[in-house]
Every structure is written in structure tokens, then in C-alpha cells.
Amino acid sequence: MLGSTFVLGLASGSQTLPLINQDAFTSTYRLRVSGKVYQVVIRHSSVNRTGSDGVTQSYDRHNVEATITTLASGATPEYYTKAYFIMEQLPSDTNVEVQDALSDWSIASTNANLVKILGWES
């Protein structure tokens, strides 16, 4: 278990989300404060993938999802912002080089690459 709280480090200020649910495969952290709901969900599962060689192997799949929901206020409807990443690899593979490189790329140049993706660049 990662812990009983999850600190979501935001430019607007970190939020400490308490663990509200945990089972064998999922943990949910949630905090409601000042018209917003902050949530992080971590899920684990397995999937079978068949390679180009025809061999099927079981891969571990790990999903981390963060959502900030701004609750409705007056004439402004509720809306959310969500980001997530998925890691799939063999259970015996503990190398996180690809995940690390992608994380570094996404925040390079003061998040410029993320802003470009929001602008539909590819």
C-alpha cells in the first residue's frame, strides 16, 4: 500500500487526499474542499498480449488516474480535468525507464509539451 494519504502536488498548492477505499486491486483517495473534488485512483490488473511471434504472455497493468472536479456554482456547470497513465509490462520486469522518460518529457520546458498536446499537436 502506498499509504493512508496521497499528496497531489499542484501548482495551485498541494492537496492531501485521504484513502477512502482499498481492496486487493484498487485504492481510491478523495478530498472535497472549496467547491472542488480531488481524486486519485490506482488500479492493478493483468492482461494477455500476443506478440508478433504468436506467443501470448500475461502482463501486469497498472493505472494511476487523477481527477479534479469543479462543482457547479450558479450558472456554471460542473466540469472536470483528468489525467492518467498506464504501465504494462511483464510481472518480472521492474525497469521503469520508459515511464521515467515519458514523465520527464511531459514536464520539460515548464509543461510546454503538455500545453502543445492540449492544442492538438502530435
List, for residues 15-72, the tens digit of each pLDDT value.
999 999 999 899 999 999 999 999 999 999 999 999 999 999 999 999 999 999 999 9
pTM exceeds cut of 0.85: yes
Residue pLDDT, tens place only, 67-87: 999 999 999 999 999 999 999
Give the torsion sign (CA, 46, 50, 51, 54). Answer: positive
Considering only CA atoms, which of 70, 63, 72, 64 is closest in space to residue 12?
A: 70
Regarding whether 76 and 35 lie in a shared domain, the answer is yes
Q: What is the pLDDT of residue 71?
A: 98
pLDDT of residue 107: 84
Same domain, 49 and 99: no
Q: Is pLDDT larger for residue 64 or for residue 112? A: 64
Mean pLDDT of 98-106: 92
Please indicate whether residue 82 or residue 106 has the higher confidence score (pLDDT): 82
pLDDT greater than 80 at residue 1? no
**Sorting pLDDT into bands at 50, 70 and 90, what band is 14?**
very high
**pLDDT for position 97:** 96
Measured CA to CA in angstroms, residue 66 lies from 28, 42, 50 at distances of 10, 9, 30
Contact (Cβ atoms closer than 8 angstroms) between residue 87 and residue 101: no
Domain that includes residue 107, residue range: 94-122
- Residues 47 and 62 both lie in one domain: yes
Query: What CATH number has the domain bearing residue 19?
Result: 2.40.160.220
Q: Residues 67, 98: one domain?
A: no
> Per DSSP, which regions of 23-117 are E strands?
26-33, 36-50, 56-70, 79-89
Give dist(CA 103, CA 107) in Å, integer: 7
Give, as one character, the DSSP assignment of residue 71: P
